[in-house]
Structure 1
Amino acid sequence: MTAGEFLIYQGTGVSDPTGDRIRRRGEPPPWRRFDGEPVTPLERDGAAGRRLPERARAVPYEADAATVRMVNVALHLRRPLLVTGDPGTGKSTLAYAVAHELRLGTVLRWPITSRSTLTAGLYHYDAVGRIEEATTRQDVQPSDIGRYLRLGPLGTAFAPYELPRVLLIDEIDKGDIDLPNELLDIFEEGEYRISELERISDATPLVKVRPADDGRQVTIQDGRVRCREFPFIVMTNNGEREFPPAFLRRCVQLRLAQPEEARLRAIVEAHLGSDVLAGSDELIADFLSRRGRGQLATDQLLNAVYLLLSAGVEDRPDREDLIDVVLRELNGSP
């Protein structure tokens, strides 16, 4: 087995100019090798690098040494990364930062609620639309079934792409109590099946379907979807519940702490510039004092700094009232 390069993700916020770094990982462990086909090329400069809101979050992301280390552990072991922390610590942004730096295309986001199901995350089949078209058209063929299928974010991530997709499973602790256990099988086997395609596989073995991000169509063979490269999965957790040991032992676990003053200053500078940072010392000190008394998120500080120094609030008589509105404690009364 040939040794690879450990620091694939470096936390710099700079997109890999050659795009080769992700290919310098070592070979996967024998128990984490997958062979899905047909292989789908990855559009590497997708929305993580194009859309302004996503790029604005990813580029200035401040990853500490522990975060960089655990991201690389997950990348090399081909395991999901379970990220726990208070709101505003950058749990979700981490997925966009990795996708941007390693040029892994669009981030596939699956926001979890109490009504989320595994099947909905995998794919959606518009049976009603197919029946309606079949009754109005005489030329509908079995091979047309792909027009009525759309992969979900989870299902797209496990399609056989040439490079790993980035999947954000946001707030997994808000899901049904059985969802983590339901995810175990696909995390271990790296595959799932689409029963609607299995039924017609003898007559139509290859079907093209739309991915969740509307990118290049994915070709599915015999109704079986199996990854070629295990996706980089970030599952965010606000710590509102415990997970079963069987689920935890299959994850790489990362806990994000609230950033201290030096890192807060770096975050403000990265997002708003050194000139803004120079005038925000008093507000950063105020933020830290308030955070010591109640729950605050880092993006509240960014909003307050912007409001104070870029929106003409500094000299207003209601300056303190406006700052209070933005820096309201998250665990306090409205």
Structure 2
Amino acid sequence: MPTHPHKKVFAVAPMIDWTDRHCRFLHRQLSSRALLYTEMVVADAIIHGPRERLLSYSPAEHPVALQLGGSNAEKLSEAIRIAGDYGYDEINLNVGCPSDRVQSGTFGACLMRDPAHVADLVTAMKKVSQAPVTVKCRIGVDDQVPADVLPDFLARMIGAGADAIWIHARKAWLQGLSPKQNREVPPLDYDLVHRMKRENPDVFLGINGGIADLKQAAEHLEVMDGVMLGRAAYHNTGLLAGVDALLDGRLEYLDPDWLALRDAMIAYADQVIASGGRLHHVTRHMVGLFQGYPGARRFRQILSSEATKPGAGTEILTAAFAAVDLSSGLEKAAG
């Protein structure tokens, strides 16, 4: 767990509509040590909604963190009590998401404007959580000057007892930019985040935002305690096969045992289908597996066209893997 300042952590970012339990099961087949995050789950949904569907996951996913959205201390505390039975390895508070839906609930990135309140939330969460409580934030929002506001924000989170802070190295613009644009338009300021780490040597600080491959991840880990990849890990899933070596200080691309991965995903998909799910719920997360491999385009075509059909079975996965030249062993993901 990211509580020791000298233990390096590689995490796959929480991504709404992407990092569901099926996605995380796939990612775990490629790395035994990456820290995996749920999609953001709103505290109200856990309290009033289908909590089993929202919170359940495969034991194989550990270490796995639950990301919560909310701005009410009582509701967040109640959500943590409910989630306690599920055994998450970390509870993370979202102070970075800029979507309209999040803003209407006065949480996510807009909380950057009220660091004292966020500190109160962290204090309340710490009181009830059996797992470490962490925060994922931006370097600032709107017209804030990150170099002015970020040090104060971090100091408040540290004072409240946050076990780790993950910093997305971009501002969020709450008006005028879509969530997608907020991941691409505001400039990255890695230097500021690195400076925050140098000024807080005993606190776990991780960096997120725009990191494209394992080479860049390794460079950040020379300074930071943790590195978090989002879209790069999702769209080029195979790079996760190099994460365990990266955490041991080796930057190398390790070709996954593709046949073992195929068999594990077929067995898993069979279970999902047997419990009322559809093949597509699993395979939609697999289209980024073979970037650059001969046959990768056909692999994607099979999953996109055949796996989405009603009643589709796992023989489609077998056919998709058979379309790829697994012997090519191309070094795809180290960058």
Q: Which TM bucket (shorter chain)?
A: 0.3 to 0.5
> Which structure features the higher share of helix residues?
2
Question: Higher relative CO (CA 8 A, sep ≥ 6), structure 1 or 2?
Answer: 1
Q: Which is higher, the Rg of structure 1 or of structure 2?
A: 1
